[in-house]
Amino acid sequence: MTILLDVFYLLAALVISPVIVYRVFRHKRYRTGWAERFGRVAHKDPAAKCIWLHAVSVGEVNASRTIVQELQKKLSDFEIVISATTDTGMARARALFGDRLQVFYFPFDLSWVMRRAFDRIRPTICLLMELEVWPNFVETARRRNIPVVVVNGRLSDKSFSGYKRIRPFVKGTFRKISLFLAQTDEYARRFRRIGAAADKVIVTGSLKYDTAQTDGGVEGADALVKQLGLDSKRLWVAGGTGNDEEQILLGVYRDLRQDSLFSDLRLAIVPRKPERFDEVAALIEQTGLAFVRYSQIKANPTALPSGEPEVILGDTMGDLRKFYSLATIIFVGRSLVPMGGSDMMEAAALGKCTTFGPHAFNFRQTVDALLAAEGAILVRDAGHLLATMKKCLSEPDFTAKIAENGREVIKNNQGATARTIEQIARLLGRV
């Protein structure tokens, strides 16, 4: 089976190689980390016991923050190493952990590459954030009696549908997982249906509630107000936006600005993917709205934008929380178009009136919790978004109530980190 899987991977690599080459030159992705992707990785202290934590991209890396902090406190005799798959995930992991932990690209799931990686890292336990279960990775760990734990586990509607279709092929891999720590009862049921042993699935809650900052203060936000001249302005922030969505948002913003009641409103758009920054800049320019790219301000903080920009393009990485902290109203993107949504937890945690579209199916648990408590607003389409914005901007008490309800939902769901650490410690014989 391992040989067949390797052959399948190699054939798939041949098929997608033109796409990879295109992204290397067009979007400047996949240019680094190739040695690590082929298993040439190591942890800093070869003599130490090691925890290998893998997080695919930015969302999973962010969710791992409290786990890493508590592991360092409770299991201080273990070294922790972090791997990520995407370039943005690596950048975020290095920003959070690079000064004290080994951070590297996740190796390709070829059997010989995984053997090399395990030989070099020699982990005592492997933690996989959310799902990211690779067959050769799991089999290599099993053969070496290394437990593998899915942490903060979730199976979105789309992923669950896909796994059900290939259940005969993945059931064996799921059976080799030592423990599934699921976010919700629903996700736990899905893991069992795909093949996880019932006694190895435990509901611990979502780590993202614990990592969400609820005190409202974000470092650098005050400077951003001065840099962009927002002192007396209301700010609408559209965060994590996706293809075809910015045009809808710009149309709604133009309609709002036609009303003198909303003449002080400014719009900040922060696209989800950095390779779309230039595309979105061109789109804003076509509207005729005065705009500024935050990257230019960030590079030269003393240079204020000429004139008064109506639209701010957040074309930098790691600054979305700054914009969210200054917002009057937040729209969480990739949800007006069928892309699954972006995480709305951070927006709600900051005590902001949070809105999102009907296609946030990747975050159904958070959506259900917020809507049940009237802690966020679901907008059906552009027209409903426009009406909602007018109501929120015209009725500050209503907006404040939505914001406070949302923050309470986040606070009431915290505690997953402690439950997760307890299960990991039990598995390691530390309880």
Cβ atoms of 349 and 328 within 8 Å: the answer is: no
- 143 residue type, one letter: R
Q: What is the DSSP letter of 311?
A: E
Measured distance between the N- and C-terminal CA atoms of the chain, rounded to whole angstroms:
37
- What is the rounded CA–CA span in Å between residue 110 and residue 103? 20
- What is the rounded CA–CA span in Å between residue 336 and residue 140? 42
Cβ atoms of 245 and 283 within 8 Å: the answer is: no
> From the CB of residue 234, how many other CB atoms can be counted at a distance below 10 Å?
16
Cβ atoms of 166 and 195 within 8 Å: the answer is: no
The edge-to-edge listing of strands for the beta sheet with 353-356 is 291-293, 311-313, 265-271, 234-241, 329-332, 353-356, 377-378
- Which entry of 60, 130, 245, 310 is annotated as an active-site residue? 60
Query: Known catalytic residue: 395?
Result: no
- 395 residue type, one letter: E
Name the pairing type of β-strands 148-153 and 311-313. Answer: unpaired
Q: Please, which residues bridge with residue 128 across strands?
A: 54, 150
- What is the rounded CA–CA span in Å between residue 42 and residue 137? 16
Active site residues: 60
